[in-house]
Homo-oligomer: A and B are copies of this chain.
């Protein structure tokens, strides 16, 4: 296992200490239980947004904590759901009296633990509503989920949901916007290489030198099929073909196109794929007016990418464009 670490059991703790030191202006890192809050929070009277999940997907979710972003993020162990007590503590710390939205990616452990935390918070008179994202069109059920997985669509979903809360929407309104993003975003990913969880020490799967996994999950869990490596144009056509026909996206639709790196993919390949995706969509008359390209939701050092497409309307566009000031995403502040 080739990693820049000291001890597989302390990777997350040490990384969180680094986050606290590097971004003290933006976030406060709490320990025992571990969670991350806005340095200037809680914001009284604002709906608070809390998300989280296993570590190893950085900058998800802590990198999106800050003004215009999440109020709190809860990191589990690598590829392991955070515990209910972590989520409860983050929820309590983020609450500004206007209710809390839990943004939950659809993985069985996360669903259960966020539900438990919401019940515990409710017993303390914190009004929590959960929204679940399941944007991965690759598989119906999976080794980690009942139903579809929550994947790259989480990034625009975070951004837009948090912007609705930041502009002062009440709890029901924030939840409605958040669900509108879920209803309009679809994603599919692929991988060229596996990744290695530190405490396991071995790659989560193997791929031959000429193979790729289409529809890969963000923990390296199986996708649709293992095939021979093809060209970027063919890969993009496979991913976006499935994405476009699923919603479906149609001629004349106005969209946000997001090419996400899995952690180990060079930027030059992501922009090349983005170009191929634009050509694919242009041929189908699907317009792209907003874009995101980069490593925003990763799987440790995995090489690969996912492509997300979000159907935009004027309000979603305005919320996407709204200011945000976080470690992983800054705009207009």
Taking CB as reference atom, which chain B residue is nearest A195? B266
A275→B11 CA distance, assembly (Å): 11
Query: Would you give the shortest CB distance from A219 to chain B, in whole angstroms?
Result: 14
The bracket for how many chain A residues form the interface is: 35 or more
Residues of A1-20 contacting chain B, CB below 8 A = 2-7, 11-12, 14-19
Q: Tell me if A232 and B5 are in contact (CB < 8 A).
A: yes
Q: Tell me if A274 and B231 are in contact (CB < 8 A).
A: no
Is the CB of A308 closer than 8 A to any CB of chain B? no
A58→B330 CA distance, assembly (Å): 19
Is the CB of A331 closer than 8 A to any CB of chain B? yes
Is the CB of A293 closer than 8 A to any CB of chain B? yes
A193→B270 CA distance, assembly (Å): 20
Q: Tell me if A303 and B301 are in contact (CB < 8 A).
A: yes
Q: Tell me if A6 and B193 are in contact (CB < 8 A).
A: no
Q: Tell me if B58 and A266 are in contact (CB < 8 A).
A: yes
Q: Tell me if B272 and A5 are in contact (CB < 8 A).
A: yes
Taking CB as reference atom, which chain B residue is nearest A302? B266
Residues of A244-286 contacting chain B, CB below 8 A = 263-276, 278
Residues of A199-245 contacting chain B, CB below 8 A = 209, 212, 229, 231-233, 235
Name, among A7, A267, A291, the residue most crowded by chain B CB atoms within 10 Å (CB to CB): A267
A268→B275 CA distance, assembly (Å): 29
Q: Given A17-B275, A330-B331, A303–B264 Cβ distance below 8 Å?
A: yes
The answer, among B58, B212, B276, B330, for a CB contact under 8 Å with A14, is B276
Is the CB of A192 closer than 8 A to any CB of chain B? yes
Q: Tell me if A4 and B272 are in contact (CB < 8 A).
A: yes
Is the CB of A55 closer than 8 A to any CB of chain B? yes
Query: Would you give the shortest CB distance from A152 to chain B, in whole angstroms?
Result: 15
Is the CB of A97 closer than 8 A to any CB of chain B? no
Q: Tell me if B18 and A274 are in contact (CB < 8 A).
A: yes
A243→B305 CA distance, assembly (Å): 35
A19-63 to B contact mask, C-beta < 8 Å, 1/0: 101110000000000000000000000000000000110110001
Query: Which B residues lie within 8 Å of A303 (CB)?
Result: 2, 264, 301
Residues of A participating in the B interface, judged by any CB pair closer than 8 Å = 2-7, 11-12, 14-19, 21-23, 55-56, 58-59, 63, 78, 192-193, 195, 209, 212, 229, 231-233, 235, 263-276, 278, 288, 291, 293, 295, 298, 300-301, 303-305, 330-333
Beyond known contacts A18-B273, A263-B266: 8 more, CB 8 A cutoff: A3-B266, A4-B272, A6-B231, A15-B275, A17-B275, A22-B274, A266-B298, A330-B330
